[in-house]
C-alpha cells in the first residue's frame, strides 16, 4: 500500500525535527526522524492499526502515536495519506483533517 505525506504533515515533521535539533541534540533529532519514518512505514501492511481519531469520529481518519506525537492519517483502498504530525498536547479541531 502506498503512503503519501501531505505538505502540512511534512512541514510539521520538519518543524519538530528542527526544534529537537535546536536543543543541541542533532543526533537525537536524526534518530527521531528515522523512528517516525519507520513507524509510518509500519502502517502499510496494517493500515487500520491506529485508532479512529476521537475528535473526528470517522472510520477512515486514524492516528498512531510516536514519541509524544500524534500522526493522523487517512486510509483509502489503495493508499494511506499522512495528514498531520502534531504534538500530543496540541488541541485538534475536526477542521484540521477535513476534506475541504
Residue 47: all three cell numbers together: 493500515
pLDDT exceeds 50 at position 24: yes
Total Cβ atoms within 10 A of residue 3: 15
Higher per-residue pLDDT: 24 or 72:
72
Average confidence score pLDDT of the chain: 90
Model-wide pTM > 0.85: yes
Per-residue pLDDT band for 9 (boundaries 50, 70, 90) equals very high
Total tally of structural domains belonging to the chain: 1
pLDDT exceeds 80 at position 82: yes
Residue 93: predicted pLDDT: 60
pLDDT exceeds 60 at position 98: no
Domain of residue 84 covers 2-97
pLDDT exceeds 70 at position 99: no
Higher per-residue pLDDT: 87 or 35:
35
CA distance 3 to 69: 18
**Under 8 Å between Cβ of 44 and 75:** no
| CATH code for the domain in which residue 25 is found | 3.30.2310.20
Picking from 91, 96, 85, 92, the residue whose alpha carbon sits closest to that of residue 17 is: 85
Residue 28: predicted pLDDT: 92
Amino acid at each position: 500500500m502506498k503512503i503519501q505525506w501531505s505538505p502540512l504533515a511534512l512541514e510539521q515533521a520538519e518543524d519538530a525535527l528542527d526544534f529537537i535539533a535546536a536543543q543541541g541534540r542533532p543526533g537525537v533529532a536524526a534518530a527521531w526522524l528515522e523512528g517516525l519514518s519507520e513507524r509510518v512505514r509500519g502502517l502499510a501492511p496494517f493500515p487500520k492499526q491506529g485508532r479512529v481519531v476521537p475528535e473526528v469520529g470517522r472510520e477512515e481518519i486514524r492516528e498512531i502515536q510516536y514519541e509524544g506525537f500524534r500522526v493522523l492519517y487517512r486510509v483509502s483502498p489503495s493508499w494511506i495519506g499522512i495528514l498531520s504530525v502534531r504534538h500530543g498536547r496540541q488541541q485538534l479541531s475536526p477542521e484540521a483533517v477535513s476534506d475541504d
